[in-house]
Chain A
Amino acid sequence: MSDLHKRLLEDVVIFENKEAHKTGAQFIAPDHSPRHTVQGKPLPARSAVTEASLQQRVEELLFHQSELLDEKQWAAYIDLFAADGVYWMPVTPEQTEWLDYPSIFVEDRRMMEIRMGRVTHPNAWSQAPQWGTSHLVGNVVIESFSDTEICVRSRFQMMELRRDTTRHFAGTYRHKLQRVGDDFKISLQRVDLLNGQAPFDYVLQIWV
C-alpha cells in the first residue's frame, strides 16, 4: 500500500452528532449580527369574496400562495402544504419521480423548515443584500376535481431583484390540492421552470 493510501485510512470523523457551539461568526463576535429578521408583519389578506366558484377559490389560493412568497411570509407559505405535502421542482418536464433522479428542489415540510431556518438566520450572508420578487400567476386550468382532490395547472412569471440585478423566471405550476373544509392544502406542488437547465446566474435561495 502506498504512503498516500495509508494516510487516507487515518480517520477524522467530521460528522459531529451534537450541536457545535464554538462555530460561526457570533462565536468570534457575539454582538455581531448583519441582519435582523423581520417579525410581526401581517399576512396578506385572503379574498373577501364569500360566494365563489371552485375556479375562483382555487385561483385565490394560487394568488395567495404567490403573494406569501413576495411578502416573505415563509411560515405561512409552508403552512399551505399538507402535513405530508411536497414542493418539487424537477430538472426536466419529462421527469416523473424524484427518488432516483436529480431535482432542483424536492422538499417536504421538514426540509422547508430547514430552508426557512437558513434564510432567516442572522448569519445567512447571502440574505444580507436587499432582494425581492414579484410573481404573477395565470392561465389557471382545473384539470380534474373530486370531493377530496383537485388537480390544477397554471403558469407563472416571476421577476427577482437582488442587489442591483434582475432575474426572470417562468414556468408551469401543477398543484394537487386536498379539500380541507372550505379551504385547501397542497399535497404536491410541481414546478417546471422553463429555465431549469439554463445556466443560473446565482442560485435559487427560496421556493419559486
Chain B
Amino acid sequence: MEHCLKGTCVLVEPDRVHKSVYTDQAIFDREMANIWETTWVYCGHESQLKKTGDYATVQIGRQPMIMVRGGDGTIRVLYNRCPHRGVQLCGNRQGNTGSTFVCSYHAWTFHLDGRVKGIPLAHGYAGTRMTPDNPDCSMKAAARVDSYRGFVFASLSATGPSLLEFLGEARIAFDDMCDRSPEGEVEIVPVCHRVMQHSNWKFFMENQLDALHPSVTHQSTGVAAGRVERKLQEQGQKPPLFYHYLSTFASSFELWDSVQTVNFPRGHGILKGYMGLRPDDPDTKEYVAAMYRAYGEQQAQEYLGRSIHHVLIYPYLSVQSPLQQLRVLRPVAPDKTMAEIWHFRLKGVSQAIYRRALWYFNLVNSPATMINADDLENWTKGQWGLESNGGEWVSFHRNFGGDTRENGVTYSNNGTSEAVMRSQFEAWREYMNE
C-alpha cells in the first residue's frame, strides 16, 4: 500500500480508520520506528532490581534492551548486544550479572554502565580503529532513562518531550497506585505472566476503555459469578469481595454508559468508575486509619475516593491503579502482540488489603483468567475480520460529536462513546506523520 507510507492521514479520519492500520507490515514497521523506538517506553519498576548487577531484559520496539542496576545504584538501559560481533550479552529474562557483563562468544567484558572493561588478547587490536578507547567498543545505551515514582522508562531518542511531558496528566496512573500506600510507594511482585495476543496491539488499547463490551463479552463470567454470589447470600453467607470483581462485568448497558472516559493528548486516557473497594470491615477500617495518619483525613479521602477504573498510557500500557495491576504491550508483528502482566504491593498495608489486589490478579489477569479468555477470542476474530476484503473501514462513530472538549482533553458524555478510539488515533496520526 503505497499511500500508507506517503501519508497516514488518509488512513485515519475523525470518525473511522482504514483497516490496514491493523494489518499492514509497512505501517507496523513505521509504528516501531516512529512510536516505540522514539517515545518513552515503560521498562520496569525500580524494585525489580534490588542489588548491583540485577538486570531484566526488555523489548523496546524491535530493540532488545537490558535494564540494569549499576554499582552506583543508578538504573541504566543498554542495548543487549556485544559491540564485537553482535551477540546478545544477557540470554536470560532476568538475573544478576555480578559486576560485569561477559560475552559468551569471545569474553569481551563490560562495566554495568556499558563501558568496555576488558578484551582478551587486546594487543591484537593495536593499530586498528577498534582499540578499547574507541566508544564503539562499549555497549550502546538508551538515549534517555528516567523514572516516575519508581516506574522506569527509556527513550531511544535523544530529543522529544521529557518523561513528565510525555505522561502528562495520565501520570495519575502512578500517583493513584502509590498514593494508596500510606508510605507513598509500591513494590513489584516478581511474577510476570505473559500472554500472546494474536491481534494488533490496537485491539487491546481500544478494548481497555471500551465500556460497551464488558456486558456482552464477559456476560458468561458475570452471570456465573453473580449466581454463586446470590446463592451464598441466600444461605446467609457473605460472599467474598472478589466474587464481585467478576459479577460486576455483567452490569447493565445503562450502567456502563453512565461512566465517563477522560481522553488526554497523546492518546492517554482514563475510564472512570469507582471500584467499591471500601467495604465496612475491620481490615478496611485499619487501612483507612493508616491513610489518615499518613496524609491527613482530607488528602486521604481524595486518594481513596478517586473514581478510576483504568488508566491508559498510550500506546502500550494499561494500569488498573486501584488494584495495582499493570499490563504492558510488546508488539511483535501486525497480528501478534505480547502482553506482560504484573502487579504491585502497596507498601505499609496489611496482608488483607494486599489479598484484595491479589485476587483480582489471579482471577482477571492470570493465564487462567475468566475475563480475558473472551477478549482474546474477540481480538483474534477481529484481526481475521480486518484482514479480509469484506470492508475497508473500522467504525468509531458512536457518540461522534457528542463529547465535550476542554483544553485539549476530551470528556465523553457517555461511557460507551468511541471517543477513546478517536482520541487514540488522533495521537497515532501525529506520531506517524512526524
Contact = CB atoms under 8 A, between A and B. Distances in A.
A13 B368 CA distance: 27
A22 B226 contact: no
A23 to B, nearest CB: 4
Interface residues of B, number: 73
A10 B172 CA distance: 15
Interface in B266-285: 270, 272-276
A10 B305 CA distance: 9
A23 B306 CA distance: 26
Contacts of A138: none
A14 interface: yes
A30 interface: no
From A10, A100, A202, name the one whose CB has the most chain B CB atoms within 10 angstroms: A202
A45 interface: no
A123 B224 CA distance: 11
A105 interface: yes
A14 B224 contact: no
Contacts of A8: 172, 270, 272, 306-308
A25 B260 CA distance: 23
B252 A21 contact: yes
A127 B377 CA distance: 9
B225 interface: yes
A24 B223 contact: yes
A202 B336 CA distance: 12
Interface stretch (A46-54, A111-119, A142-150): A111-119
**Interface SS majority for chain A:** loop
A25 B351 CA distance: 39
B236 to A, nearest CB: 15
A16 B252 CA distance: 9
A180 interface: no
Interface in A21-39: 21-25, 27
Interface string B54-92: 000000000000000000000000000000000000000
Contacts of A1: 302
B232 interface: yes
A8 B179 CA distance: 14
Contact of A14 (B219, B226, B256): B256
A110 B228 contact: yes
Given A22-B252, A24-B223, A113-B228, A103 B362 contact: yes
B374 interface: yes
B178 interface: no
B196 A200 contact: yes
Contacts of B366: 102-105
B97 interface: no
Interface stretch (B9-17, B127-135, B353-361): B353-361
Interface string B232-263: 10000000000110101011111110111010
A24 B215 contact: yes
B259 A14 contact: yes
B221 interface: yes
Interface string B352-381: 001100100110001111101110111000
Nearest to B232: A110
Given A12-B260, A117-B227, A125-B374, A20 B255 contact: yes
A1 B306 CA distance: 13
B216 interface: yes
Given A14-B259, A102-B358, A110-B228, A123 B193 contact: no
A202 B196 contact: yes
9 contacts: A9-B302, A14-B259, A16-B255, A24-B250, A100-B354, A114-B243, A117-B225, A200-B193, A204-B367
Interface of B: 169, 172, 189, 191-196, 198, 215-217, 219-228, 230, 232, 243-244, 246, 248, 250-256, 258-260, 262, 270, 272-276, 302, 305-309, 338, 343, 351, 354-355, 358, 361-362, 366-370, 372-374, 376-378, 409, 411
Given A12-B273, A100-B354, 4 more contacts: A23-B253, A114-B221, A125-B374, A199-B196
